[in-house]
Chain A
């Protein structure tokens, strides 16, 4: 996952992290992966929900030291 682009959205509140992710997803090429960093507690549920709804691929989601690390591959 070392080639993932990191989007650091720590210390912003809902829906800031999701909107930052979506901004970068729009610019990414299909197949690219993005790792979102978020301290917003709701991101752990909301971001995978969005990924599922719009049809991208959730690679990984884990909370490390209070920070959500959510990795997504752009599928379309």
Chain B
């Protein structure tokens, strides 16, 4: 089993989608997956956020028109099917003046960068 650490910060549709695909497929294939959510990627995980995200270019436009699984659903499946951890950045929570209770229930505990980096010492890291 390998370990995959995913950092989501940009928050565009394309990057959230790709990160969610990495997370769901890797987790469901038995990899240990941790997703660190910060900056503009975190607000999508407020309770009941509909996941609508700005697109970067033509592929984002195409995804909006076709039957692509919503990225929030894929992240949820990564948790349910593969025990992925979705960790909200504690700094971003502070900036938004919210707590972990304001986020979707599948998210893990608010996590600082020191802790995340310490846990991520082994394994691959990709950033979106």
| Chain A residues at the B interface, C-beta cutoff of 8 Å | 11-16, 18-19, 22-23, 26, 50, 53-54
Enumerate chain B interface residues (CB-CB to A < 8 A): 21, 24-25, 28-30, 66-69, 74, 77, 81
Contact of B28 among A11, A14, A22 (CB under 8 A): A22
- Write the chain B residue with the least CB distance to A53: B29
Task: Tell me whether A13 and B66 are in contact (CB under 8 A).
Answer: yes
Q: Are A15 and B21 in contact (CB under 8 A)?
A: yes
Bound complex: CA of A11 vs CA of B21, how far in Å?
17
Q: What are 25 A-B pairs with beta-carbon distances under 8 A? A: A12-B67, A12-B68, A13-B66, A13-B67, A13-B68, A13-B69, A14-B21, A15-B21, A15-B24, A15-B25, A15-B69, A15-B74, A16-B68, A18-B25, A18-B28, A19-B24, A19-B25, A19-B28, A22-B81, A23-B77, A23-B81, A26-B81, A50-B25, A50-B28, A54-B29
Nearest first, the 7 A-B pairs at minimum CB distance are A16-B69, A22-B28, A12-B67, A13-B68, A15-B25, A19-B77, A11-B67
Asked whether, in the complex, the Cβ of B24 is within 8 Å of the Cβ of A50, the reply is no
Question: Hey, which chain A residues are within 8 Å of B77, CB to CB?
Answer: 19, 22-23
Cα-based distance from A26 to B27 in the complex (angstroms): 13
The answer for the CA separation of A18 and B24 in the assembled complex, in Å, is: 10
> Which residues of chain B come closer than 8 Å to A23, judged between CB atoms?
77, 81
Q: How far is the CB of B61 from chain A (nearest CB, A)?
A: 14
Whether B29 lies near A19 (C-beta < 8 A) is no
Name B66's closest neighbour in chain A (CB-CB): A13
Query: Which residues of chain A are near B66, meaning CB under 8 Å?
Result: 13
CB of A38 to closest CB in B, whole Å: 12
- Tell me which of B21, B24, B30, B69 contacts A53 (CB under 8 A): B30
Q: Which residue of B lies closest to A55 (CB)?
A: B30
Shortest CB–CB separation between residue B19 and chain A, in angstroms?
Answer: 12
